[in-house]
Chain A
Amino acid sequence: MKLEINFQKLKETVLLIDKVANKHLTLPVLSCILIEVKKNTAIFKATNLDVGIEVSVPVKANEDGVLAVPASILSSFVSQIFNDNQVAKLETVSNNLNLTTSKSKGTIKTVPFEDFPSIPQVVDGQSFSLAPELFVKGLKSVWYSSSVSSVKPELSSVYVYSDGNNLIFAATDSFRLAEKKIKTSSTSRISDILIPFKNIPDIIRVLENMGENADIQLSKNLISFKARDIYLVSRLIDGVFPDYRQIIPKNFSTEAVLLKQDLINALKISNIFSDKFNQIHMVVDPKGKVFEVQTKNNDVGENNTTVDAALTGEKIEINFNYKYVADCFQSIEADSVSLQLSGVNRPMVIRPVSGDQSFMYLAMPMNR
């Protein structure tokens, strides 16, 4: 193999896919990036058997060929070269890859590529096209609510399904739940899918580089995204997501509307004094016109912070885990939020007030 490539392009590509190539216990070649050169195109591939990525880059090839190099070495090398505006030369010389830039020359030991798995294609799937940024928005709005434990695979995933014109993203770890509706232009229904939580960062990173439009293909076990020069495929979870809509309270007994930033600040202060369970005590008293957040830690001290709020309904005192409440504000763009409560052992519903109403969040209270 012998080729010339735009260095900036090489660097971008390697840094885009190198995180997927990880150490694998039984198949060492998975920690490599595979480079296939054919007819003036180089295809860079990496996979961890959960996600697979292929990026094609135009090159000036003098000699076709295939090779596998350890991803960490290649990426560390190219990321330390800052002169992007140059042409890099890649050449294999007896099981080594010679990478030549204007000032630096590296010789990297290659790995036998024969065991590098082929990246599956979705065949006979449903297909639709969508702007990748919308998909990314949906994933980003909910994925932090997924369960990190692998006990229930369907909960350590993001659930995506279509409902009329909307593509709905939902995730829950059973302590909180986030739901985001994304308006799409097409009305075609897709079947429900569960994308594994641990693939989401890779998917988001790659989709953000995909440009304006992507073809999405779905089968029972795979989802693939394809733009001009990038192909991404991820495993799907074969399972059933609970019908969470039945958990969303239909009505509420107390409502508080506050400025989002005020609430975030109050929560941040209170978190300094929260105990090892991150417990915050919330007092909502519409009659006394008080919205107060209290925390107490026997080793540190205690704190009361009030927040200006428009309150309606009955008085309630309720406990939450700080993290489970604070997490949702990253997905709310509106200035003010509404908190709806319907009893000490019922979930709190958090929604943005005014503007984009497509997000909804549930947080379960604490027992004590």
Chain B
Amino acid sequence: MYCCIFQRLSESLERSLCENTSTLGAKSEGCNKKVGGSSYSSQADRVRENTSAEVCVHYKHLINIFYGSPQVCRIINRYILGTPMQDYSKMWQTALIEIQTGVSQANFSTWFKETNIVKEEEGTIYLGVPNSFTQEWLVKKFHNSILRILRQMNEHVRALEYVIVKDESGKKSEMNKKSANTPTMSMPLQDFYINKEDNLNPRYTFENFVVGPFNELAHAASQTVIKSPGAIYNPLFIYGSTGRGKTHLIQAVGNQIKKVYPNKKVYYMTSERFGSEFFVAIQDGKVQPFKDRYRKYDVMIMDDVQFFSHKEKFQEELFHFFNTFHDTGRQLVFSSDRHPNVIPGLEDRLRGRFSVGMIVDIPEPDHESRMAIVQTKCAVHSITLSTEIIEIISNSIEDNIREIEGIINVIACQTQLRNRELSVNEIKNILKNSAKPKKTVQIKDIVKIISDFYNIDEDSIYNKTRRKEVVRPRQVLMYILREDFSISFPSIGEKLGGRDHTTVIHSYEKIKEELKGDPVLSQEINQVRSML
């Protein structure tokens, strides 16, 4: 019953506040057209005073009745205390008009032209200024008058602070044009911009991330994380084999969060680095500073967590680390080359925690996506390839985007050197030379991978034991040896502890049959295959 009243009242309050704000906007625009200069601002002020007086009545009234209702408080906060961002610029524009009347034209255009309101926190307005000279001058000469004007406009303004903001007015497009015209090659500097504060490479953004059917789920999950960091998918766990764009995606999440929420501190690191820094911290007896250092971040992105496999001490630290982050609603993003459930030597409690949020797979890119990727990479190097050539490239490299990138680099370089487009044959040659040679794997290695994967003793595969936990891996092993490596049944039997070839045939057929109805098994086998 009470809930219902809350709901309706807060709705009506919200509507009335909305209307007030919009009428205020409309009225002040009208004023702007009719009269300029000082009379405008005084009229606008009167309108504003009226509105805020009305709002205050509502506000006090409601506080008395519904004190403590979080919903109402939230709405009040949104409409009265925290003005949305676009209103700041409007507010500052209005303030500037008033300021302009009080200072000389020279002063105004020197000191006020490049200023804007960056943010507002608890009544403190943060004014963005281009440099320290401006800051110094505004503090010295205009601080009180600015503050007075802002206070007239919004009585909740209590203080005024200055921040020096970077000048980033779109200059990027020029750069590409220029480097294309000069005959001297330029250094690949853009690859080495790593921000020391957050370790993110600004090159990895969503603008240059190719979304295709194969990775759209991972992309969508990351977008959700960006929309509400720490709230919905926490942690976000992305896995897929090497060269599928995991690092690009998770760094893009970091870069995007930084852009959308300038206050959030983002940090990216590889698990290997976490491990080695922790190791050094233990050696120096400085574990606490290590912990404190990482816990101050709002978003933590950790790459390649499979590195933690079989490292119990690191896992324990990561576990505590995880809890601190997760409990305080701060976002965690992980990447790994396999599903957490099949990372060998990972503690169950950590495994469980990884699964709490969202686990997404980036599978092999499909043909169309590969073509799209080839085209995007070509555009980066400003080379154009015929559809035929794009087709050839995307057919010859199937599972690794990084290799596609490498091939395009070679093609771009050769095109530049020869100063003409490459022929189909030349491209085929490049592909032949740079494509990864087929790996030769020894049976012993496969046995090791499978026994690690199922967490059993390597020797038990060769032994006569028929324990259930050994039999299954052994059958999977036989299946893979037959299916992927076309080894004859008798020699498989011989290599695996002198078994009869009929045993091998039986195992092979059994797994093959089970695969038809058991998705878990097929996933397992694919995981094993990806590790070979």
Q: Which residues of A contact B (CB under 8 A)?
A: 24, 26-29, 47, 49-50, 52, 115, 117-120, 149-153, 155, 172, 174-175, 177, 192, 220-222, 233, 235, 238-240, 242-244, 246-247, 277, 279, 320-321, 324, 344-345, 347, 362, 364-368
Contact = CB atoms under 8 A, between A and B. Distances in A.
A128 to B, nearest CB: 20
Nearest to A277: B183
Given A222-B132, A243-B194, A367-B183, A27 B107 contact: yes
Contacts of B140: 118
A366 B184 contact: yes
B109 interface: yes
Contacts of A347: 187
Given A26-B109, A27-B110, A117-B136, A238 B166 contact: yes
B132 A115 contact: no
B512 to A, nearest CB: 49
Contact of A240 (B172, B182, B193, B417): B193
B185 A120 contact: no
Contacts of B202: 240
Contacts of B172: 151
Contact of B106 (A28, A50, A119, A153): A28
B417 A244 contact: no
Contact of A118 (B137, B184, B192, B194): B137
Nearest to B194: A243
A345 B131 CA distance: 40
Given A221-B131, A240-B193, A365 B106 contact: no
17 contacts: A26-B105, A49-B110, A115-B104, A117-B137, A120-B133, A120-B136, A150-B171, A151-B172, A174-B187, A192-B196, A221-B164, A239-B166, A240-B202, A242-B193, A246-B191, A277-B183, A368-B419
B186 interface: yes
Interface in B101-157: 104-107, 109-110, 113, 131-137, 140
Contacts of A151: 171-172, 174-175, 178
A364 B131 contact: no
Nearest to A275: B183
Contacts of B417: 344-345, 367
B183 A246 contact: no
B104 A368 contact: no
Contact of B183 (A118, A222, A279, A344): A279
B442 interface: no
Given A26-B110, A115-B107, A367-B417, A345 B136 contact: no
B132 A235 contact: yes
Contacts of B133: 47, 49, 52, 117, 119-120, 235
Interface string B411-422: 001001101000
Nearest to A24: B110
Given A172-B187, A244-B192, A362-B187, A120 B132 contact: yes
A222 B179 CA distance: 31
Bin chain B's interface residue count: 35 or more
B413 A175 contact: no
Nearest to A155: B189
A298 B175 CA distance: 30
B269 to A, nearest CB: 16
B183 A174 contact: no
Closest 5 CB pairs of A and B: A242-B192, A26-B109, A120-B136, A243-B192, A174-B186
B190 interface: yes
A364 B184 contact: yes
Contacts of A119: 133, 136
Contacts of B191: 242, 246
Contact of A365 (B185, B193, B196): B185
Interface string B265-292: 0000000000000000000000000000
A174 B189 CA distance: 7
B519 interface: no
A367 B113 CA distance: 44
A222 to B, nearest CB: 5
Contacts of A368: 183, 419
Given A26-B109, A120-B132, A324 B187 contact: no
Contacts of B185: 175, 345, 364-367
Interface in B167-181: 167, 171-172, 174-175, 178-179
A163 to B, nearest CB: 14
A238 B164 CA distance: 9
Nearest to B190: A242
B188 interface: yes
Nearest to A368: B183
A367 to B, nearest CB: 5
A338 B190 CA distance: 28
B186 A364 contact: yes
A152 B135 CA distance: 24
Determine which residue in B109, B110, B416 has the highest number of CB atoms from chain A within 10 A of its CB, and name it.
B110
Contacts of A321: 183-184
A362 B184 CA distance: 13
B201 to A, nearest CB: 10
Given A117-B133, A240-B193, A367-B417, A175 B183 contact: no
Given A172-B189, A242-B193, 19 more contacts: A28-B106, A49-B134, A115-B107, A119-B133, A120-B133, A151-B172, A152-B175, A153-B167, A242-B190, A243-B193, A243-B194, A244-B187, A244-B189, A279-B183, A321-B184, A345-B413, A364-B187, A366-B183, A368-B419
